[in-house]
Amino acid sequence: MADFTQLINENACRIEYDCQDMPFHIACSAHSANLAIGDTINKCTEVKNAIEIFRDYSKKLRTPTSMRVLQENNQNMALLDVSTRWSSLYNMLLRLAQLKPFTSSLPDHLFSGKNMTESNWEDMMEFIEVLKPTAILMKNLQNVHISLSDVFAYWTGAILSLQELQTVQPESPFLDTMLDNVQERFKYVSSNPMMLASVYLDPRYQLLLDSAEKDKAIDYLTKLHMTCSQVEIYQPPMNQINNLPHAGLSSLEQFLRTKEVPPTDSVLTDAVTNIRKRLIDFGKNPRQPSTSSLLSFWEENKSKHFELHSLAVIIHTSPGTEVKIERNFSTLKFVLNRLRNNLSDYDLEKILIIKFNTK
């Protein structure tokens, strides 16, 4: 077997050529949505103070006396939000709203004279309406199998819902700030050309792109196609050929390398023109229903769009969130804990592999 380091050195020029200008980082969409909600609450001081009141009220509803009353009425107990997950704030407020009819049966001394006023309840209902689109967005982003185009569509849906809500609540600073922050984060998330390429190769959501975004997606997909095709057409510049490592090569191979001639510009130009034409023609296809399956579409059109299918496999399998990784970390604490902390790295890895792949 050839030495791995030697293979890396021999292909260093190839790697640098293939990967130039290709993005390697995709922001986690779930984390970006979480930041948008957090930024909104931190900017709105009145909202932040009101949420503290709601949080304290939830804590008082979780005392033994309050829980006994709620259980007697067949009600679920109050929830508490998690500071690192702003989407849980919506669940806490929604549960409080459901428990409102039963809070009147609780003794007043539990609240130390600081019971919720009617104004507090009205503010809470407004917060629930504003947080609902982002809560739905966070829930959708936690799905196990989503493509980058799904992420784009979920964000767009949340923005549209907030804009529709503005017609009902025209003078809501909290809503306006939420919409601004969500749009700002979405602009950052959707600026990645890989996400634009995923939306372009998704016949369900391609219409969401404007002409400039489509051109950017086509340019990226063309470059990606040429990169994947370098096995056949790539040749390093002639001034670099003589600098490639010759260790382990026969004299004949070294001599043949000096005779290599890079492909003519016409060959590269024809390849680029061909794939760009296929991509432009694909953009003229009729839209598929948003409820249809992206996987089924590409399986059915694999032979018709063979080259585009290869690109779709690469693009649509790129993860748009780190939810799965975070979920695996959460599972780790059930395997490695204070009662079971002597596992070797080897055993721990094998246990986790089995656990993650048997769900």
pLDDT bin (cut points 50, 70, 90) of residue 4 is very low
Model confidence at 236, pLDDT cuts 50, 70, 90, reads: very low
- pLDDT(6) > 70: no
Q: Please say if the pLDDT value at position 145 is more than 90.
A: no
Confidence band for 247, pLDDT divided at 50, 70 and 90: low
Above 70 in pLDDT, residue 277? yes
Residue-range domain boundaries for the chain: 4-19+209-316, 29-191, 323-356
Q: Six-digit token pair at 23?
A: 């993005």
Per-residue confidence band for 359, with pLDDT thresholds at 50, 70 and 90 = low
Share of the chain above pLDDT 90, in %: 30
261 phi/psi in degrees, rounded to 5: -120, 125
Q: Are 11 and 123 in contact (CB under 8 A)?
A: no
pLDDT digits (tens, 9 = 90+) for 189-229: 888 899 999 999 999 999 999 999 999 999 999 988 888 77
Q: What tokens appear for 271 in the block?
A: 């390849």
At residue 324 the predicted structure's pLDDT band, cuts being 50, 70 and 90, is confident
- In the structure, what pLDDT confidence band is assigned to residue 329 with cuts at 50, 70 and 90? confident
Q: How many other C-beta atoms lie within 10 A of the C-beta of residue 245?
A: 12
Q: What is the pLDDT of residues 116-140, one digit of tens each?
A: 788 888 999 999 999 999 999 998 9
Helix residue spans in 23-147 (DSSP H): 29-43, 45-60, 64-72, 87-103, 118-141
Instruction: Work out the average pLDDT over 136-156.
Output: 89
**333 or 263, which is more confident:** 333
The C-alpha atoms of residue 321 and residue 148 are separated, in whole angstroms, by 9
Q: Which candidate, 69, 43, 41, 68, places its Cα nearest to that of 55?
A: 41
Taking residues 26-55, report their average pLDDT: 89
The two tokens of residue 99 are 């428990």
Minimum mean pLDDT range among 92-96, 125-129, 315-319: 315-319
pLDDT band at 2 (very low <50, low <70, confident <90, very high): very low
Does the pLDDT of residue 153 top 90, yes or no? yes
The pLDDT mean for the chain works out to 81
**Percent of the chain scored above 70 by pLDDT?**
81
Name the token pair of 116.
Answer: 């919720």
Confidence band (pLDDT; 50, 70, 90) for 168?
A: confident
pLDDT value at residue 11 = 45
pLDDT of residue 157 exceeding 90, the answer is yes
The string of DSSP codes covering 186-249 is HHHHHT-HHHHHHHHT-TTTGGGS-HHHHHHHHHHHHHHHHHHTHHHH----HHHHTTS--TT-
CA-wise closest residue to 179 among 36, 34, 45: 36
Residue 356: other Cβ atoms inside 10 A: 13
Smallest CA-to-CA distance from 188 within 84, 35, 322, 21 is with 35
Assign 234 a pLDDT band (cuts: 50, 70, 90): very low
